[in-house]
Structure 1
Amino acid sequence: MPRALYLLALAVFAMGTSEFMLAGLVPDIAAGLDVTVGTAGMLTSAFAVGMVVGAPTMAALSRRWPPRPVLVGCVLVFTFSHVAGAITPTFAVLFGARVIAALANAGFLAVALSTATGLVAPDQKGRALAILLSGTTIATVAGVPAGALLGTALGWRATFWAIALLCVPAALGIVRGIPRRAERTSPDVGAEPSLRSELAQLASPRALVVMLLAALVNAGTFAVFTFLAPIVTGTAGLSQWWVPPALVLFGVGSFIGVTTAGRLSDQRPGATIAVGGPLLLLGWAALALLAEHPVALLGPVFSQGALAFAVGSTLIALVLYAAAGAPTMGGSYATAALNIGATVGPALGASALTTAAGNQGPVWVAVVLTAIALAMALLVIRTIVARSPEVAG
């Protein structure tokens, strides 16, 4: 695999740490800015809304530009938005800073996905995606728990400062490691299609179904992950210092899941979904039922990280295959699918907190969304795993 993929993954690590770190900081932000936990949790949805809007917009605006300056510019905007978030005294400004950071993250990820898949053979999109997403999973293993510990020790603002500093080596790595004229299309795709023809890919039934499935699975994942801290401290009755270990367990599982799915999503995506989907559904139900028991809680946290990211990343890879005719915009479609889930999931999870289910409400949201996705997937499994002509050989 090209070295440039790993440099892109470094930047994804910094951005992934920022995107997911709120899972360990929601209670502190709520207390520090005098808002409810549910309101603070909506910062995750704000970030995801920016990602959904920003991914196709930034990809369309920058499709004729060389990737390197776009990627560096996005990292710099992302950095300054975190400085603003670290110094603001109001929730409204923090909310706005998160949206701006999300727009920058969306632009980066959309271009990075197109660049990454252009660096490898047409039948290796899943492996390239796995390397890129390893930055996200390592963020859940190391970055997010470290951010939670830093926030516990020095306050949540210190974590925002740390993310801003982490972006500096990421930007330098891109400048030094990404070729000035790096391609954003696979050399086997041929002449670059028009924007209109790339947007027409969204009308493909296969692309729409896979995007919907990816959004549903990721919505369930983000519903639980966003409110994992209240489950650990409120439902299981553990101290706040147990939140980082729980996040580490989820992150280690997610790293194993996305790494394993890297090859399987290219070779056996149907089997990954058919086996992993039911296990994912049963795991969410087990987590909801066992959340009150601290020892029993930690096992499902680990397994759900692995299953959620294995199934979710496989579906995201299938979005890239389904959008093979949109080489510069396909990455934005995958980004949008992922973050539509990240928008809807926390919002539904926040609403579920006020029901009789309490802190387990977000987990039951994951159960329902995963069940819907699994029922749909099993009905159309042969269609969604069909390979595009250019990778079928």
Structure 2
Amino acid sequence: MKPVASVPSLTLCVFGITTGEFVIAGILPDIAADLTVSIPAAGLLVTAYAIGMIVGGPVLTALTARFPRKPLILVLLGITIAGNLASALAPAYGVLFAARVVTALVTSTFFANAIVIAVSAAAPGKQASTVSRLVFGMNLSMILGAPIGTYIGGGYGWRSTFLAIAACCVLGFLLVLRLVPDVRGTAAPEPPAGSSVAAELRVFRCGDVRVAIAVTAVANAGLLMVFTFFAPLVTEVAGFAGEAVAGLLLVYGLGAAAGNFVGGRLADRSPKWSQLGLLGALAAALVLMWAVGGSAAATAIMVFVLGALGFSVIPGMQARVLSAAAAAPTLAMAVNASAYQLAAALAAWLGGRVIDGGLGLRAVYLVGAAVTVAGILVSAYAWHGERGRAAVEPAGAARS
């Protein structure tokens, strides 16, 4: 079996897993109504998933660093399938919350190992494009997965959405079992015998790694706050019918795909100024969304813009982490994913406090813009510190 066949199989798995993460934004009101909880309480399901990834990402990735990769991802997929089935059958809010945590525990570790397998199957010089094909599964989950899941939830109930996600992951499991090779003996060998959790964790002694991950956590929180409450924002503020949410998620996903591509090219050319400039544009767009949020037509346009700007900054952030953590990139990427989920958890909590505090749904846009400005400041600090170290190192080399 040709190794290249493994990449579409893994892409399908990424599509299914991330659809389970993003689709909550489209079925939030349905879950709240069915389980008789408030919209902010339902929004905490995003926090539940984030908690699972925050805890599971670094811990599980480090603990399983020496496990054979194919058997490991099959086990992780099995847990994902079980978690989505439990979500579909949850009789109460607490059970659904717990099911989302368990499902998320394995997500970061699956992604980290899937990237290693995908790179091992790539032809020489094609590693980056191979990884981009894998990441495209995430884009597809926003372009197709979240809208389709929202449509299924609207027509057949939100539980059917999780059943469909579980079915997608079952198909991915079977394809991985049949098509994905074991990476031992390939370009991505199993970790050396001397590796350990402590050795993996040493990468976080590097200040650049810690700051790069902090940028991910802070800079993404503003947009994630808006995305968590996407359905009520576009229906209760902009006046769209509930049936339009799926279509608007499709618009958001198209913007995200375009932004991901453009942002990667900009980051290659000028990583510093592209990141700062795009974050500044995102903050401005969130303020503009607050100003025009009552207009359905303007909201439809701005949904695309927010998706594009929000995802345009991600490639540069990932590249910074990979560059700073060359000694343990798999664990660093898992922790970076956990940082993104930490942002999601805090965003869902803060957005709920804004709504419950009497400021109203529309104020979520302004608070999201303020958080994004904080992300700009952290990012500027990171670049300033890096420039300072770059100036010191040549001077030290000259003295030596």
Q: Structure 1, residues 20-64: CA drift from partner, whole Å, max 9, x if none?
A: 111011111011011111101100110011001001121112111
1:87 aligned residue (81, 86, 89):
89
* Residue range with higher mean Cα deviation, 306-315 or 355-364: 355-364
Find the aligned partners of 1:270 and 1:22 in 2 and give their Cα distance. Answer: 33
1:305 aligned residue (304, 307, 310):
307
| Matched ranges for 1:64-103 at <5 A | 64-103=66-105
Counting matched residue pairs gives 386
Deviation of 1:209 (Å): 0.9
Change over 3 Å in CA distance of 1:35–1:216 after alignment to 2 = same
1:291 aligned residue (283, 290, 293):
293
| Matched ranges for 1:218-237 at <5 A | 218-237=220-239
* Residue range with higher mean Cα deviation, 12-21 or 97-106: 97-106
In the alignment, residue 74 of structure 1 is paired with which amino acid? L
Deviation of 1:125 (Å): 7.4
Aligned with 1:296: secondary structure? helix
**Contact 2:85 2:162 (8 Å CA) reproduced:** yes
Q: In structure 1, what is the equivalent of residue 374 of structure 2?
A: 372
Q: In structure 2, what is the equivalent of residue 211 of structure 1?
A: 213
| Matched ranges for 1:243-392 at <5 A | 243-381=245-383
Find the aligned partners of 1:258 and 1:112 in 2 and give their Cα distance. Answer: 20
Change over 3 Å in CA distance of 1:190–1:63 after alignment to 2 = closer
Deviation of 1:280 (Å): 1.1
1:141 aligned residue (120, 123, 143):
143
Find the aligned partners of 2:386 and 2:131 in 1 and give their Cα distance. Answer: 18
- Counterpart check, 1:106 vs 2:103: no
Find the aligned partners of 1:228 and 1:150 in 2 and give their Cα distance. Answer: 17
Find the aligned partners of 2:379 and 2:45 in 1 and give their Cα distance. Answer: 30
Find the aligned partners of 2:131 and 2:320 in 1 and give their Cα distance. Answer: 11
Aligned with 2:240: secondary structure? coil
Deviation of 1:72 (Å): 1.2
Q: In structure 2, what is the equivalent of residue 30 of structure 1?
A: 32
Structure 2 length-normalised TM: 0.88
**Contact 1:111 1:331 (8 Å CA) reproduced:** no
* Residue range with higher mean Cα deviation, 337-346 or 374-383: 374-383
Find the aligned partners of 2:194 and 2:137 in 1 and give their Cα distance. Answer: 29
Aligned with 1:160: secondary structure? helix
Q: Structure 1, residues 325-352: CA drift from partner, whole Å, max 9, x if none?
A: 1144223122212211121111111111
In the alignment, residue 164 of structure 2 is paired with which amino acid? A
Q: In structure 2, what is the equivalent of residue 390 of structure 1?
A: none
Q: In structure 1, what is the equivalent of residue 395 of structure 2?
A: none
2:182 aligned residue (172, 175, 180):
180
Q: In structure 1, what is the equivalent of residue 62 of structure 2?
A: 60
Change over 3 Å in CA distance of 1:245–1:35 after alignment to 2 = same
* Residue range with higher mean Cα deviation, 341-350 or 194-203: 194-203
Find the aligned partners of 1:272 and 1:250 in 2 and give their Cα distance. Answer: 21
| Matched ranges for 1:156-167 at <5 A | 156-167=158-169
Deviation of 1:372 (Å): 0.8
| Matched ranges for 1:2-41 at <5 A | 4-41=6-43
Find the aligned partners of 1:57 and 1:107 in 2 and give their Cα distance. Answer: 9
In structure 2, stretches of 5+ residues that fail to align are 391-400
Q: Structure 1, residues 242-289: CA drift from partner, whole Å, max 9, x if none?
A: 111111111111111122334444554224213312111111111122
Structure 1 length-normalised TM: 0.90
Find the aligned partners of 1:190 and 1:88 in 2 and give their Cα distance. Answer: 42
> How much identity, in percent, do the aligned residues show?
32
Find the aligned partners of 1:163 and 1:25 in 2 and give their Cα distance. Answer: 14
**Contact 1:218 1:308 (8 Å CA) reproduced:** yes
Find the aligned partners of 2:83 and 2:237 in 1 and give their Cα distance. Answer: 34
In the alignment, residue 45 of structure 1 is paired with which amino acid? T
Find the aligned partners of 2:125 and 2:271 in 1 and give their Cα distance. Answer: 13
Deviation of 1:8 (Å): 2.1
Deviation of 1:171 (Å): 1.2
* Residue range with higher mean Cα deviation, 373-382 or 226-235: 373-382
In structure 1, stretches of 5+ residues that fail to align are 388-393
Q: In structure 1, what is the equivalent of residue 397 of structure 2?
A: none
In the alignment, residue 96 of structure 2 is paired with which amino acid? L
Find the aligned partners of 1:50 and 1:237 in 2 and give their Cα distance. Answer: 34
**Contact 2:63 2:197 (8 Å CA) reproduced:** no
Superposed CA RMSD in Å reads 2.7
Deviation of 1:310 (Å): 1.2
The higher radius of gyration belongs to: 2
Change over 3 Å in CA distance of 1:5–1:47 after alignment to 2 = same
Find the aligned partners of 2:197 and 2:9 in 1 and give their Cα distance. Answer: 28
Find the aligned partners of 2:127 and 2:318 in 1 and give their Cα distance. Answer: 10
Find the aligned partners of 2:120 and 2:221 in 1 and give their Cα distance. Answer: 28
Deviation of 1:207 (Å): 0.8
* Residue range with higher mean Cα deviation, 82-91 or 47-56: 82-91
* Residue range with higher mean Cα deviation, 177-186 or 278-287: 177-186
Find the aligned partners of 2:372 and 2:125 in 1 and give their Cα distance. Answer: 28
Change over 3 Å in CA distance of 1:245–1:262 after alignment to 2 = same
